[in-house]
Amino acid sequence: MAWIEPEVTEKPKKPMFLCVLSSTKTAHIPKLSAAGKTAELTDYTPAGDAELMETGNIISVPVLPMTPPYDTPTPAIMTRSALKLTDAPYHFINSGLIVTPDVPCIDLKANPGEDIREPVAVMDVQGIYERAKLLAKRLRNQADHVVIGESIPGGTTTAMGVLMALGYNGNVSSSADENPLELKKQVVEEGMKASGLTFGCLKDDPMKAIACMGDPMMPAVAGLVAGFQDTDTSVVLAGGTQMAAVYALIKHMGLNTEKIAIATTRYVVEDKSANFIQLTTTLGVPVVYVADPGFGKSSMKGLHRYETGTIKEGAGAGGAMYLAGLFGITQDQFRTEVENVCKLLKAGH
Amino acid sequence: MAWIEPEVTEKPKKPMFLCVLSSTKTAHIPKLSAAGKTAELTDYTPAGDAELMETGNIISVPVLPMTPPYDTPTPAIMTRSALKLTDAPYHFINSGLIVTPDVPCIDLKANPGEDIREPVAVMDVQGIYERAKLLAKRLRNQADHVVIGESIPGGTTTAMGVLMALGYNGNVSSSADENPLELKKQVVEEGMKASGLTFGCLKDDPMKAIACMGDPMMPAVAGLVAGFQDTDTSVVLAGGTQMAAVYALIKHMGLNTEKIAIATTRYVVEDKSANFIQLTTTLGVPVVYVADPGFGKSSMKGLHRYETGTIKEGAGAGGAMYLAGLFGITQDQFRTEVENVCKLLKAGH
């Protein structure tokens, strides 16, 4: 049985995985983000994810990124497993981190995002976009197929924010057991008010939508996509509603979206509180790859939490599995590697 | 006639150029560094070099890096030309910059180096080394042959500093018309005194030699070399006396130096005030590639300044030419491209 749908077979010659790491102070709103044990600890989550993806463990951050109440380990365990199994080239990109990891990141000189209830959520959107575009131009001769993931706590709320500003229903997914959708809606409403916005009023100004309601991950990914335009390099956005929001942004920027796919996990697609498939259909995303790690078959209880929807996506996990699929890795091989990663971490039990 | 000696023919499958960008406050000592119009403007030189190498022009820095009294353009024009002609993959690495460029850099989280007359010249030497090593491990599957250059004003003085601490005669080269060798010696002597060092006393502790007398470029390059050890990836250090100093450091660290070459310009080798060939012979460097851009044949007077020794090396120019040679670029093709780069800059006349 294929664990990536639609099935992937042809391995690209020069694939590359990129993960954009960012922060938004929106994540400091209590109970909004579950990508960390407490609102404050979410500051460490992207750094912890990067250290885990690179080395198999955390180095400088005080605690493994995990989600309460069952301390489910970060989806970065899946990305780590895929990178290890495929030996695919990868880089981390710092686009506005509050806490930087002790592993090398390509720096886009972005400031952390502000709380979207402030008048300006992201400063220097154009500058971040241009630097990311330069980076993609540099990477053109190093990759013919690029999978771009993200790690930014609070990112589903900012995704809802830009979707609303662009005129889309933004019922977003969450990294929590119970999606605090009402709280997110309230925060977004306050943010729209603080910036003087109405539903869809920025459909012709996606850069301003990022500046008012977004986060620093967005101009970074959009700039990367722009830098790979008109080349033979195809792009897969690895994520759930957050990457759907990025897709909406680049579409409204007028970029060519024909060769851009989204890859995510089964858990995002099956999230009843969100409307991922409806959204990507409305947006006209050419292909959505859905990856199923089959954690139900695992003996590790922490991994079962993914099956019950405690965590759904993050650190480009869906796209990393898609990449593993391209390399011919099977679901069983993949799940076994994730279990090995968890054993080394003494997590996921 | 070969413009790279010894002649190079076999093009590697996956070459990569890396340039480590750093600052040391040693460059603020008046008249010490000529890598900038004034001592203060040297802060902008590595950033300007990176912007020029990536885009063909400066973006954010106020002035093109150039050397008085004839405003000779930075050797980064050669590196730019080589990268353009070869389309070789490359990255810039920020290891302790005072001013960062507006092009993406891989960040090693290093602080700028202090004046070597202070007790500590480089903080967190081990941390920089370890992060650079991680980076090289990440890049292993992206490159089988890595050319590593540097851009750090004041770097020949810190090179002399570590060479003295390791027990080598450190008559170093310079990016100036008249090498201020006496001033450099005096600064190094003061630095040795401030750290309580004597000639050769740190031959068994190269990390401490960097901490006391070096700059943040050194642990970065050493860490990269360490990360490529025991792989099929060979390394060429691109630079003059500065890279000879790095070679000395990695040798004293006990790393395997059999597969490590140095590539530099004819101008460094012919610098009578320095002792580059004597030094590399003493150190047992397996191969020294010497590149001659043949600027004497150029109609642009600024380029003639290189022939008279105004500038000698920098931004990995010698190694970049070596790389161009590997790609089958001729001296004439190369010089023509450098002239094109200068015309766009309206420099070098």
Residue A252 tokens read as 């409204």
Distance of CA B196 to the CA centre of its chain: 28
Looking at beta carbons, which residues of chain A come within 8 Å of B100? 107, 109
**Residue among B106, B127, B141 minimizing CB distance to A106:** B106
pLDDT at position A76: 95
CB contact under 8 Å between A94 and B107, yes or no, is yes
Print the domain residue range for B76: 4-345
Q: How far apart are CA B275 and CA B285, in angstroms?
A: 14
Mean pLDDT of chain B: 92
User: With contacts defined as CB-CB under 8 Å, which chain A residues touch B138?
Assistant: 54, 89-91, 104
pLDDT for A311 beyond 80: no
Task: Please tell me what DSSP assigns to residue A115.
Answer: P
Residue predicted with more confidence, A39 or B212: B212
Residue B165 and residue B200 in contact, taking contact as beta carbons nearer than 8 Å = yes
**Residue in A212, A237, A215 with CA at minimum distance from that of residue A224:** A237
pLDDT at A348 over 70: no
The more confidently predicted of residues A180 and B174 is A180
- The whole-angstrom separation of Cα A24 and Cα A40 is 12
First vs last C-alpha separation in chain B = 27
Give yes or no for residue A177 having a pLDDT over 70.
Answer: no
Task: Tell me the chain B residues in contact with residue A131 when contact means C-beta distances shorter than 8 Å.
Answer: 102-104
Query: If interface means Cβ-Cβ distance under 8 Å, which residues of chain A face chain B?
Result: 54-55, 87-91, 93-94, 100, 102-109, 127, 131-132, 134-135, 138, 141-142
Q: Which residue bears the tokens 């301003």?
A: A208
Q: Using the 8-state DSSP alphabet, how is residue B40 labeled? A: G
3-state secondary structure chain A: CCCEECCCCCCCCCEEEEEEECCEHHHHCCCCCCCCCCCHHHHHHHHHHHHHHHHCCCCCCCCCCEECCCCEECCHHHHHHHHHHHCCCEEEEECCCCCCCCCCEEECCCCCECCCCCCCCCCCHHHHHHHHHHHHHHHHHHCCEEEEEEECCCHHHHHHHHHHHHCCCCCCCCCCCCCCHHHHHHHHHHHHHHCCCCCCCCCCCHHHHHHHHCCCHHHHHHHHHHHCCCCCCEEEEECCHHHHHHHHHHHHCCCCCCCEEEEEEHHHHCCCCCCHHHHHHHHCCCCEEEECCCHHHCCCHHHHHHHCCCCCCCCCHHHHHHHHHHCCCCHHHHHHHHHHHHHHHCCCC
Q: What residues of B are in contact with residue A104 (Cβ under 8 Å)?
A: 93, 106-108, 131-132, 134-135, 138
Kindly report which listed range (A210-214, A235-239, A288-292, B166-170) carries the lowest average pLDDT score.
Answer: B166-170
In sequence order, the β-bridge partners of residue B72 are B67
Residue B177: pLDDT over 70? no
At residue A347, the pLDDT reads 67
Burial class from Cβ neighbours inside 10 Å (0-12, 13-18, 19+) for residue A178 reads exposed
On whether the CB atoms of residues A222 and A250 are closer than 8 A, the answer is yes
A127 and B89 within 8 Å at the Cβ level: the answer is no
Q: Which residue of chain B has the CA closest to A92? A: B106
Tell me: the pLDDT tens digits for B234-266?
A: 999 999 999 999 999 999 999 999 989 999 999
Other Cβ atoms within 10 Å of B62 Cβ, number: 9
Nearest to A159 by CA among A236, A79, A217: A217
Nearest Cα residue in chain B from A134: B103
- The verdict on a CB contact (< 8 Å) between A127 and B102 is yes
Q: What is the spatial distance between Cα A97 and Cα B272, in angstroms, rounded to a whole number?
A: 49
ipTM of the predicted structure? 0.91
* CB atoms B107 and A109 under 8 Å: no
CA distance B337 to chain A (A): 19
- Choose the closest CB to A104 out of B88, B103, B107: B107
Supply the pLDDT for residue A117.
97
pLDDT at A312 (0 to 100):
85
Vertex B217 angle, CA B213 and B219, to 5°? 75
Contact A107 B107 (CB under 8 A): yes
Cβ atoms of residues B76 and B103 within 8 Å: no
Fill in the DSSP letter of residue A328: T
For residue B141, give the nearest of A87, A100, A127 by CB distance: A87
Write phi, then psi, for A316 (nearest 5 degrees): 65, 25
Per-residue pLDDT tens digits for A93-125: 999 999 999 999 999 999 999 999 999 999 999
Among the listed residues B270, B259, B244, B263, the one whose alpha carbon sits nearest the alpha carbon of residue B316: B263
Distance from CA of A91 to the nearest CA of B (A): 8
CA distance A310 to chain B (A): 31
| Best to test chain B binding among A14, A17, A57, A135 (most B CBs inside 10 Å) | A135
Torsion, Cα of B30, B31, B33, B34 (10° steps): 130
Give me the pLDDT at residue B172, please.
63
pLDDT of the residue at B307: 82
Interface test with B, best of A100, A105, A135, A137 (most B CBs within 10 A): A105
Residue A243: Cβ within 10 Å count: 34
Signed CA dihedral, B125, B128, B134, B137: sign only: negative
Q: Out of A55, A87, A131, whose CB is closest to B104?
A: A131
Mean pLDDT calculated for residue range A201-213: 98
- Choose the closest CB to A104 out of B89, B102, B108: B108
Both tokens of A149, joined, read: 């993931």
Of the two residues A12 and B128, the one the predictor is more confident about is B128
* B68 vs B238: CA distance, rounded Å: 24
- How many alpha carbons fall within 13 Å on the CB side of residue B131? 29
Q: Which residues of A touch B88 (CB under 8 A)?
A: 141
Residue B188 is which amino acid?
V
Nearest alpha carbon to residue A216 among A194, A188, A192, A249: A249
pLDDT recorded at residue A173: 60
Q: At what angle do helices B155-166 and B181-194 cross, to 10 degrees?
A: 60
Pairing of strands A15-21, A90-94: parallel
**Residue B171 above 80 pLDDT?**
no
pLDDT value at position A218?
Answer: 98
* Rounded-to-integer distance, Cα B205 and Cα B201, Å: 8
* Interface touch B135/A89, C-beta < 8 Å: no
CA neighbor of A154 nearest in space, from A25, A54, A270: A25
Q: How far is residue B193 CA from its own chain's centroid?
A: 26
Q: Tell me: pLDDT of A1 over 60.
A: no
Nearest CB to A54 within list B107, B138, B141: B138
Helix/strand/coil for B29: coil
pLDDT per residue over A253-277, tens digit each?
999 999 899 999 999 988 877 789 9
Number of other residues whose CB lies within 10 A of the CB of residue B281: 11
CB atoms within 10 A of CB A286: 11
pLDDT tens-place string over residues B76-105: 999 999 999 999 999 999 999 999 999 999
With CA atoms as reference, the chain A residue closest to B90 would be A138
Residue B57's φ and ψ, nearest 5 degrees, are: -155, 170
Average pLDDT over residues A87-96: 98
B144-163 pLDDT, tens digit per residue, is: 999 999 999 999 999 999 99
For A8-66, the pLDDT digits (tens) are 877 889 999 999 999 999 999 998 887 777 888 899 999 999 999 999 999 999 888 77
Confidence of residue A349 (pLDDT cuts 50, 70, 90): low
Residues with Cβ within 8 Å of residue A320, at least 6 apart in sequence = A17, A78, A79, A81, A82, A83, A147, A149, A238
Query: Is 60 exceeded by the pLDDT of residue B349?
Result: no
Whether B291 and B4 have beta carbons less than 8 Å apart is answered as yes
Domain with residue B298: its CATH number is 3.40.50.10210
Q: Does residue B15 have a cis bond before it (omega within 30 degrees)?
A: no
Look at residues B56, B234, B79, B204 and name the one whose alpha carbon lies nearest to residue A134. B56
Instruction: Give the count of domains, chain A.
Output: 1
Q: What is the pLDDT of residues B270-328, one digit of tens each?
A: 887 778 999 999 999 999 999 999 998 988 888 888 887 777 889 999 999 999 999 99
Give the pLDDT of residue A129: 98
Least confident of A156-165, A223-232, A306-315: A306-315
For residue A99, the chain B residues in CB contact (below 8 A) are none
Is the CB of A102 less than 8 angstroms away from the CB of B55?
Answer: no
Name the residue of chain A whose CA is nearest to B55's CA: A134
State whether A135 and B104 contact (CB < 8 Å): yes
